[in-house]
Chains A and B, each alone.
Chain A
Amino acid sequence: MLTLKNIKWTAPEGTQVLKGIDLEIPDNKIVVITGPNGGGKTTLAKIIAGLEKPQEGSIIYKGNDITNLDITQRARLGISYAFQQPVRFKGLTVLDLLQLASGRDMSEGEACDYLVRVGLCAREYIKREVNSTLSGGEIKRIELATVLARHTDLTVFDEPEAGIDLWSFNNLIDVFQELRDRRSGTMVIISHQERILSIADTIAVIADGSVQSIGDAKEILPELLSGGPGCVQCPKKEVHYYGGISR
């Protein structure tokens, strides 16, 4: 599906963020990329979607070198990208975004189906503007709905858990579990969260701009949780709340 070869990227101010990433993303699998903050995960996600261009290395998607293709060209080849911090628009409604995502006029009923899948009461949201009146959890779910509406072969989710409350997070996990059960395309998820890591087929740990370890989730996750070779700062152990009391 997707092969990253020796990807190197240096930030404009001179810091080398990615120091030669080699990664193989197989068809119809869920690959979760984890690792400490500042390790280069988000940069890598942006490089896959074309939001950033590597200074060295190549990206092979379905056998074709897409390294020099821009964002639009990659989107049209079937790569979707869910932003870590979803973008807000004055004037564009949720329905507008879903229609743009699907590339066609979509009935309200169809659009509602996508919103229901991400746990939103569709009737309340379909005509709302995607503006600053939406909460972090709401806009995150709408972001997920827009990538679902694209039905692409490869979707990159950049920290889907970032900036959302506990209730929204639980719903989010449900969405990913449903996606896993449907096996709808290949998913690359950047995440720190144990429950997202637990739905992965493959886990890659990226730290200090390099792949520190990669392998079957069943093997990597226990190592991470025991503070094994992956890295000491990840993943975040989740805090569960029962009746408002943390335990």
Chain B
Amino acid sequence: MNSIRKPMDEMTKQLLKAVSDYDDTLGYTDAYSIRENGVCVQRKSTEHIKIEDKKDAPGMEIHVLPGTRGERVSIPACVTHGKIDDLVYNDFYIGENCDVFIMAGCGVHVSTGEPARHNGIHRFFVGENSHVIYQEKHVGTGSPFSIKSIDPVTEIHLGRGASLEMDSLQLGGVDKTVRETSAFLDEEASLIIRERILTDGSQTAKTDFVVEMNGKNSSVNLISRSVARDDSFQSYTSKIIGNAPCAGHSECDAIIAGNGRVSASPTLDANDGDAQLIHEAAIGKIAGEQIMKLRTLGLTEEEAEARIVAGFLK
């Protein structure tokens, strides 16, 4: 088993706790790799999950051996100061008949006025009949004068009967984000994506999904919930393509507050007579009657708004 153990910045530990279940004493208990300011500072492979440097680009390859079940791997990345533009390529190769949990959060902290960016490009090759839960949580902290950017790219290939559930969460502090997710599904494969984004101030978030269902009886359920406050702007585009008898559903709900703006452009392409594709979208302020209901339970207007937003993004 290869392992790396270098000292970590104290801020990195704070960010790890914000984006994952990192424990001050235990750290991560399963396989992991921690990236700090563009460099791997800690890493551990396990018997069934091997993490190696990528040979042709910055980043790593994560190999989950066939039949691995009930194990997890964490690969968080942190940027703790300005003038960093971190680009990393991480490839996951999940063998057949696996059931694993993958955590890939990212935290950016800058205490000065300089910009910082993390651009993580993750590719997943999920073997037949494997199930993956993939979580990524993004946060930005520190000086309000620095531009903190997180630009994740996620590419998912699901083999026959494979399934992946992706939970993506960004709850503030990230000034700019451009998120691109694409997926390609074979026969009987299923994909669930839940994305939640909160922007405020003058932040911008652009999120773009392309899902191709190429195999018979494949399915996707894409759920996006966003809250745009103050002068922030979010744009959502999705394209679900049914190239076989398949089922696709996407749902984009957004709450706007203050001068927040949201643009949603869903697209459905049915290229097979038995493709069933549905899209639902709703953008608007918090309904006045929702606030009233919570006020009749004793909450103030501000408490009611906060509770509704928290529930919406939960």
**Interface residues of A, Cβ cutoff 8 Å to B:** 49, 51, 70-72, 75-76, 80-81, 83, 86-87, 89-93, 96-97, 100-101, 103, 146, 150
Tell whether B84 is near chain A: CB-to-CB under 8 Å. Answer: no
Please give me the residue from chain A that is nearest to B295 by CB atom: A71
- Check B313–A75 contact: CB distance below 8 A: no
Given contacts A71-B292, A71-B296, A72-B295, contact A90 B312 (CB under 8 A): yes
Nearest CB in chain A: distance from B178 CB, A: 26
Contact with A along B288-306 (1 / 0, CB 8 A): 0110111111111100000
Task: Give the complex CA separation of A97 and B310 in angstroms.
Answer: 13
Inter-chain contact A72/B298, CB cutoff 8 Å: yes
28 of the cross-chain contacts (CB-CB < 8 Å) are A51-B292, A51-B296, A70-B295, A71-B296, A72-B295, A72-B299, A72-B300, A75-B296, A75-B298, A76-B298, A81-B296, A83-B289, A83-B296, A87-B287, A87-B289, A89-B308, A89-B311, A90-B225, A91-B310, A91-B313, A92-B308, A92-B311, A96-B311, A97-B297, A100-B299, A101-B297, A103-B297, A150-B297
Given pairs A90-B311, A91-B308, A100-B297, 13 additional interface contacts (CB within 8 A)? A71-B295, A72-B298, A75-B297, A75-B298, A81-B296, A83-B296, A86-B293, A87-B289, A87-B293, A91-B312, A92-B308, A100-B294, A150-B297
| Bound Cα distance A150, B298 (Å) | 9
Q: Given the complex of chains A and B, what is the CA–CA distance between A75 and B295 in angstroms?
A: 7
Interface size class of B (residues with CB under 8 A): 20 to 34
Chain B residues near A101: list those with CB within 8 A: 297
A contact residues around B299 at 8 Å (CB) = 72, 100
Q: Which B residues lie within 8 Å of A83 (CB)?
A: 289, 293, 296
Q: Does B253 have its Cβ within 8 Å of any Cβ on chain A?
A: yes
Which chain B residues border A81 with CB–CB below 8 Å?
296
Considering the complex, give the chain A residue whose CB is closest to the CB of B286. Answer: A89
Once A and B bind, how many residue pairs between them come within 8 Å at the CB atom?
59
Report the separation of the CA atoms of residues A202 and B204 in the bound assembly, to the nearest whole angstrom: 59
Q: B273-295 toward A: CB 8 Å interface, digit per residue (1/0)?
A: 00000000000000101101111
B314 at the interface (CB under 8 A from A): yes
Secondary structure dominating the interface of B? helix
Chain B hits for A96, CB < 8 A: 311
> What residue in chain B is nearest A149 (Cβ atoms)?
B297
Chain B residue nearest to A146 in the complex (CB)? B297
Q: Are B311 and A91 in contact (CB under 8 A)?
A: yes
Q: Which residues of A contact B290 (CB under 8 A)?
A: 87, 89
A81 vs chain B, min Cβ distance (A): 5
Docked complex Cα distance between A236 and B140 (Å):
60
How far apart are the CA atoms of A100 and B299 in the complex, in Å?
Answer: 8
Shortest Cβ distance from residue A146 to the other chain B in the assembled complex, whole angstroms: 7
Nearest neighbor of B253 in chain A, beta-carbon distance: A90
Q: How far is the CB of B198 from chain A (nearest CB, A)?
A: 13
Nearest B residue to A143 via CB reads B293
CB distance from B109 to the nearest CB of A (A): 29
- Closest 3 pairs (CB-CB, A-B): A91-B311, A91-B312, A92-B311
B13 CB–A CB distance under 8 Å: no
Q: A72-B301, A96-B311, A100-B307 are in contact. Are A91 and B296 (CB under 8 A)?
A: no
Tell whether, in the assembled complex, residue A91 and residue B225 are in contact, meaning their CB atoms are under 8 Å apart.
yes
A103 to B287, CA, bound (A): 22
Determine the chain B residues whose CB is within 8 A of the CB of A97 once the complex forms: 297
Chain A nearest Cβ from B85, distance in angstroms: 35
In the complex, what residues of A have CB within 8 A of residue B311's CB?
A: 89-93, 96
Contact with A along B173-208 (1 / 0, CB 8 A): 000000000000000000000000000000000000
**B298:A49 contact, CB within 8 angstroms:** no
A83, B287: Cα distance in complex, Å: 15
Assess A92 versus B295: contact at CB under 8 Å? Given A87-B287, A87-B289: no
Q: How far is the CB of A159 from chain B (nearest CB, A)?
A: 16
Kindly provide the distance from the CB of B195 to the nearest chain A CB, expressed in whole angstroms.
14
CB distance from A22 to the nearest CB of B (A): 25
- Chain B residues within 8 Å of A103, by CB: 297-298
- Residues of chain A within 8 A (CB-CB) of B294 are 100
